[in-house]
């Protein structure tokens, strides 16, 4: 079933406003998605009706808040088909989820002379933690190259794994710049066959397609609630055996079972990794976002974005001097990064904004990837459930204005 975009858009209060006198055309959901009324209401409801700290109080409000918080965790677990709800750890964002693994698993298991393998298309969140871990432990950091078309060069993988030194492979499920959907399951199979564990960055994938962590092949996967219509919160999913065997990441309240003056014992999963008061209303809001996306249907969302991205690539080809980074529509999700000969991406974004069109400009927290393509920055349009082909038409018209103002190469 195609998405009923006008009906979906009507659920998002922000689309009632105008920007610079124009209808809001929001093409920056890869950075953070807009919030439907259902999510805003869920957060308002907990603050106005059932707010208290969780896991601590023995009174009605505390019990209601705990129930709402743990209920949201269960929704997230079902959404990604986690085998066990205790495998779902609430964190601040995807970045914190990956750092948790780098600190808690990495410092125990990566030794001098080991190798960590990542890819050239990673966001800094799935690059810098591994780079710094490798430096600290005296390990090597190696990259799976990206081809000129923006695909992973799979032929380069076996030589990186064959000597058995690779202990961890980290890979994005979808690139936030190229839109590429790498064959992560194939990469994971190769990594596991060589004895390495696999960390997947699901920040751009979980909001846009059906993800089953039990079949994808990951040992850990991090993603962001705020990119899937939820509030500012993130999730780390990890296989239970691994999480159980890891030391905590942060220390303090709620993550302990008992504390003595000189020692402490850790709480069970998932609390061992949730030190301190968690983002209660945010997690509840994420639960509402999961319900909202589930009602629309993740397969329908993916099909909708494939359709829009194919149309957008066709239409963008009409703009003179515009080059698109990454593969064709069949091999990408709903993200298109581009650059134009005579126009700096920041100027492109400013002119588009004057027409009510929001795009991101810069290196999109993927500097080594831009270096790979020998450009300092790009402009990026990203699509979600509230975008349709009319939005693409507005973008193309606004880009015509960019050419008129800034000229051609
Ligand atoms: N990318 C973008 O505009 P956080 O901010 O921690 O929730 O997500 C980090 C992150 C990790 N991996 C990928 C693939 C991402 O795209 C992001 C966030 C945004 O592309 C903001 S920089």
> Between helices 60-79 and 280-296, what is the axis angle to 10°?
40
- Calculate the alpha carbon distances from 152 to 140, 171, 205, 380 in Å: 20, 10, 16, 20
Residue whose CA lies nearest to ligand 1 atom number 18: 31
Q: Which domain holds residue 391?
A: 5-30+297-406
Active site residue 358: no
Instruction: Assess whether 279 and 305 both reside in one domain.
Output: no
- What is the structure's pLDDT at 342? 75
Give the Å distance between the CA of 298 and the centre of ligand 1: 20
Q: What tokens appear for 19 in the block?
A: 């920007």
Instruction: Assess whether 87 and 190 both reside in one domain.
Output: yes
Pocket of ligand 1, beta carbon within 6 A: 30-31, 93-95, 123, 125-126, 172, 176, 201, 203-204, 224, 234, 360, 364-365
Q: Is residue 335 part of a domain?
A: yes
- What is the structure's pLDDT at 29? 98
- Tell me the β-bridge partners of 324: 338
Strands 234-238 and 88-91 turn out to be antiparallel
Instruction: Assess whether 112 and 62 both reside in one domain.
Output: yes
- What is the structure's pLDDT at 57? 85
- What is the structure's pLDDT at 56? 87
pLDDT in tens, 237-274: 999 999 999 999 999 999 999 999 999 999 999 999 99
Instruction: Assess whether 217 and 174 both reside in one domain.
Output: yes
pLDDT in tens, 362-399: 999 999 999 999 999 999 999 999 999 999 999 999 99
Cα 348 from Cα 367, distance rounded (Å): 19
Instruction: Assess whether 275 and 326 both reside in one domain.
Output: no
Q: Which atom of ligand 1 is nearest to the CA of 234?
A: 7
Instruction: Assess whether 212 and 351 both reside in one domain.
Output: no
Which among 294, 314, 335 is the end of a domain? 294
Cα 141 from Cα 129, distance rounded (Å): 11
Cα 292 from Cα 47, distance rounded (Å): 20
How many domains is the chain built from?
A: 2
Residue whose CA lies nearest to ligand 1 atom number 17: 203
Instruction: Assess whether 315 and 261 both reside in one domain.
Output: no
Q: Is residue 115 part of a domain?
A: yes
Question: Strand, coil or helix: what is 159?
Answer: helix
Nearest to 325 by CA among 145, 148, 201: 148
> Between helices 60-79 and 37-49, what is the axis angle to 10°?
150
- Determine the residue of 96, 203, 378, 384 to mutate for testing ligand 1's pocket, defined as the one with the most ligand atoms within 8 A of the Cβ atom: 203
Q: Is residue 35 part of a domain?
A: no
Instruction: Assess whether 116 and 255 both reside in one domain.
Output: yes
The domain spanning residue 79 has which CATH number?
A: 3.40.640.10
Q: What tokens appear for 175 in the block?
A: 């690139």
Nearest to 187 by CA among 155, 163, 212, 211: 155
Instruction: Assess whether 128 and 21 both reside in one domain.
Output: no
CB 346 within 8 A of CB 361: yes
Nearest 5°: the CA angle 269, 77, 223 is 90
pLDDT(315) > 90: yes
Give the Å distance between the CA of 363 and the centre of ligand 1: 12
**Can the peptide bond before residue 5 be classed as cis, meaning omega within 30 degrees of 0?**
no
- Mean pLDDT, the chain, rounded, equals 97
Q: Is residue 36 part of a domain?
A: no
Instruction: Assess whether 304 and 351 both reside in one domain.
Output: yes
What pTM did the predictor assign? 0.98
Q: Which atom of ligand 1 is nearest to the CA of 96?
A: 6
Cα 377 from Cα 375, distance rounded (Å): 6
Q: Is residue 248 part of a domain?
A: yes
Give the Å distance between the CA of 123 and the centre of ligand 1: 7
Q: What tokens appear for 167 in the block?
A: 């202990």
Instruction: Assess whether 77 and 226 both reside in one domain.
Output: yes
The domain spanning residue 312 has which CATH number?
A: 3.90.1150.10
pLDDT(409) > 90: no
Give the Å distance between the CA of 94 and the centre of ligand 1: 7
Cα 214 from Cα 98, distance rounded (Å): 19
Q: How many helices (H) and strands (E) does the chain have?
A: 15, 17
Which among 265, 294, 323 is the end of a domain? 294
CB 27 within 8 A of CB 381: yes
Which among 245, 260, 294 is the end of a domain? 294
- Determine the residue of 202, 223, 224, 358 to mutate for testing ligand 1's pocket, defined as the one with the most ligand atoms within 8 A of the Cβ atom: 224
Cα 76 from Cα 293, distance rounded (Å): 11
- Calculate the alpha carbon distances from 300 to 126, 174, 207, 249, 321 in Å: 28, 18, 12, 37, 33
Give the Å distance between the CA of 162 and the centre of ligand 1: 31
Task: Give me the mean pLDDT over the 330-357 stretch.
Answer: 95
- What is the structure's pLDDT at 208? 98
Nearest to 220 by CA among 256, 194, 191, 193: 191
Instruction: Assess whether 167 and 265 both reside in one domain.
Output: yes
Residue whose CA lies nearest to ligand 1 atom number 16: 176
Q: Is residue 338 part of a domain?
A: yes
Find the catalytic residue in 171, 229, 358, 365: 365
Residue whose CA lies nearest to ligand 1 atom number 3: 31
- What is the structure's pLDDT at 341? 84
Residue whose CA lies nearest to ligand 1 atom number 2: 31
Q: Is residue 321 part of a domain?
A: yes
């Amino acid at each position: 079933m195609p998405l009923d975009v006008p009906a979906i858009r009507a659920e998002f209060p922000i689309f009632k406003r105008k920007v610079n006198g124009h209808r809001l055309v929001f093409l920056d959901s890869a950075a953070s998605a807009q919030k439907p009324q259902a999510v805003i209401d869920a957060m308002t409801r907990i603050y106005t009706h059932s707010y208290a700290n969780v896991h601590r109080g023995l009174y009605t409000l505390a019990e209601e808040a705990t129930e709402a918080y743990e209920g949201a965790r269960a929704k997230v677990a079902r959404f990604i088909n986690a085998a066990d709800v205790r495998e779902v750890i609430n964190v601040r964002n995807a970045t914190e989820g990956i750092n948790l693994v780098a600190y808690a698993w990495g410092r125990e298991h990566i030794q001098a002379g080991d190798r960590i393998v990542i890819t050239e298309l990673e966001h800094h969140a799935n690059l810098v933690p591994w780079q710094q871990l490798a430096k600290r432990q005296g390990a090597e950091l190696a990259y799976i190259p990206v081809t000129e078309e923006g695909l992973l060069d799979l032929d380069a993988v076996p030589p990186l794994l064959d000597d058995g030194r690779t202990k961890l492979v980290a890979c994005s499920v979808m690139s936030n710049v190229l839109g590429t959907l790498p064959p992560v399951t194939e990469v994971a199979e190769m990594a596991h066959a060589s004895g390495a564990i696999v960390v997947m960055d699901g920040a751009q994938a979980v909001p846009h397609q059906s993800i089953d962590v039990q079949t994808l092949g990951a040992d850990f996967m991090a993603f962001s609630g705020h990119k899937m219509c939820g509030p500012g919160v993130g999730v780390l999913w990890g296989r239970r055996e691994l999480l159980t065997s890891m030391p905590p990441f942060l220390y303090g309240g709620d993550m302990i079972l008992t504390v003595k003056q000189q020692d402490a014992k850790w709480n069970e999963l998932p609390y061992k990794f949730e030190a301190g008061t968690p983002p209660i209303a945010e997690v509840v809001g994420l639960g509402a976002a999961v319900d909202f996306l589930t009602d629309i249907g993740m397969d329908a969302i993916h099909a909708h974005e494939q359709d829009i991205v194919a149309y957008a690539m066709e239409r963008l080809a009409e703009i003179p001097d515009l080059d698109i980074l990454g593969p064709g529509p069949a091999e990408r999700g709903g993200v298109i990064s581009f650059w134009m000969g005579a126009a700096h991406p920041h100027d492109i974004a400013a002119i588009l904004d004057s027409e009510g069109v929001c795009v991101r400009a810069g290196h999109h927290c993927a500097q080594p990837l831009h270096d790979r393509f020998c450009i300092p920055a790009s402009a990026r349009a990203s699509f979600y459930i509230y975008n349709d082909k009319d939005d693409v038409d507005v973008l193309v018209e606004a880009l015509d204005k960019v050419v008129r103002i800034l000229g051609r190469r």
